Amino acid sequence: MKTHPKILTSLAILVVSALLAPGITRSVKASSLRETAAVRAVRRIAPSVVNIRSEKTVAADSVLYATRTGQKVSGMGTGVVVDRRGYIVTNYHVIAGVDWLRVTLSDGGVHTARVISFDRKADLAIIKVDAGHALPEMPLGTSSDLMLAETVFAVGNAYGYEDTVTCGILSALHREVEVNDKQTYHNLIQTDASINPGNSGGPLINLEGDVVGINVAIRAGAQRIGFAIPIDDARRVIAKLLAVDRLTQTWHGIQTKDDKQGPRRRLLVTGVDANSPAASVGLKQGDVILRSGKQTVIDAADLERSLLDHKPGTQVELAILRDGKTVAKGLVLGTRKAASTAQVPSADTQTWKAIGLKFEVVKRQQLQEQHGSKVLEHYRGGLKVTGVRKDGPAASHGIQQGDVLVGLHEWETVNMENVRWVLDHPELRTFNPVKFYVLRGRETLFGHIPIQSDAR
């Protein structure tokens, strides 16, 4: 009897399907085993990791350059979101001397970023993007209970390959690493998780997906020797970089200390400034700050970022743990006052002596009207030059009346306090002459200006 070819084919399919069915079933069941702790950890951190691209100009020693000329050098790095409003921590060396920064978020959105503050010695910086929506904040871990050989992952923009994940262990703790004669790191984490150029500023996470370090350096010529700043150390620096008295001249007067040891993570009040808002509300040594407004407080970085959008005179509700009981305190924020008008000259006088310029504040909308809508992508405002001292540093380095100063070194200049902060910076000598950026017409120009440190 002959079998019809189509029937034979159908029978073959049935036989093969029957043979493969058990394997298919096992494959489906096995797929659940693929979702390991490592997969869950990386999935947890991924939304808060950002990729950073930058460009800086390497120029000759002339007095003034347009940013569209000169040799351009591209840079890359990584950051991690520390606050939902767009504040991101990265390494200082990622943003040092750049002409622009662009950040790619986990949702694919690309945004121009601006530098808020930095600590050169600690090699940490805060940048900010205005994404128009809340960003996922990093899952915060602690470096107080790290264990040698525990599994860790580095996430970042390695060699420009965005969102690269590498796996390793904690190889050592408390490393002292000298990169060059200007940069030495202390108390670093060593790991054999591959850290490459572009990983700088990204998170080192544990198997729970918590950030335990900020990746910072590699050992040149070595394989699988990388380093990260312990997250507890980084958070103390972040608190200073986000301090409201530094960024907005808002004053609370609370002296604190992070207390972290494994699962115990809290912010202790160690004292209050005399005649400060904290003193007025009755805060005292030994209090534990549990909440500030709607923000749960784990450390000083949480406290400072909870106050960022509050102006002097506004009241913030604090939840305090005192003698085993939770107490509510209504903290009314104040304004940071200068030591004395006799000792500290006005910002206008100081600026005239230091660089030979007088300014008036220009708001963002005015910039758009006078210099084109494109400036809104980069600048929130600036200082229009209304006077130039003939024998001053600014005049000899190309700045003209009518220019708008939009930046000094790594900081934006939207008011006179921004300028004063640069003039009074304790590390001014390390970046003097200071790089400046001015708007002239529709061009951004830059140069370097020596600041007279004895101007006070």
135 CB burial (10 A radius; 0-12, 13-18, 19+): buried
List the one residue out of 88, 114, 92 whose CA is nearest residue 101. Answer: 114
The CA radius of gyration of the chain, in Å to the nearest whole number, is 27
Give the span between the Cα atoms of 301 and 304, in whole angstroms. Answer: 5
138-143-144-148 Cα dihedral, nearest 10 degrees: 140
| Most distant pair of Cα atoms in the chain: their distance | 117
**What are the φ/ψ torsions at residue 38 (nearest 5 degrees)?**
-65, -45
CB neighbourhood size of 216 (10 A): 29
Contact assessment for residue 6 and residue 172, using Cβ atoms and an 8 Å cutoff: no
- Give the span between the Cα atoms of 257 and 248, in whole angstroms: 22
The full DSSP string for 60-125 is: -S-S-EETTSSEEEEEEEEEEEEETTTEEEE-HHHHTT-SEEEEE-TTS-EEEEEEEEEETTTTEE
Copy the structure tokens of residue 52: 């950073």
The DSSP letter of residue 426 is T
Catalytic residues, by residue number, are: 93, 123, 200
Distances in Å between the alpha carbon of 327 and those of 290, 295, 330? Answer: 10, 16, 10
- Which DSSP helix (H) or strand (E) runs through 44? helix 37-45
**Residue 256 and residue 268: Cα distance in Å, rounded?**
5
CA distance 295 to 287: 17
Residue 189's H or E segment, with its range, is strand 184-191
Alpha helices, H only, 300-363: 300-306, 347-354
Distance CA 419, CA 274 (A): 28
Nearest 10 degrees: Cα torsion 250, 252, 253, 259? -120
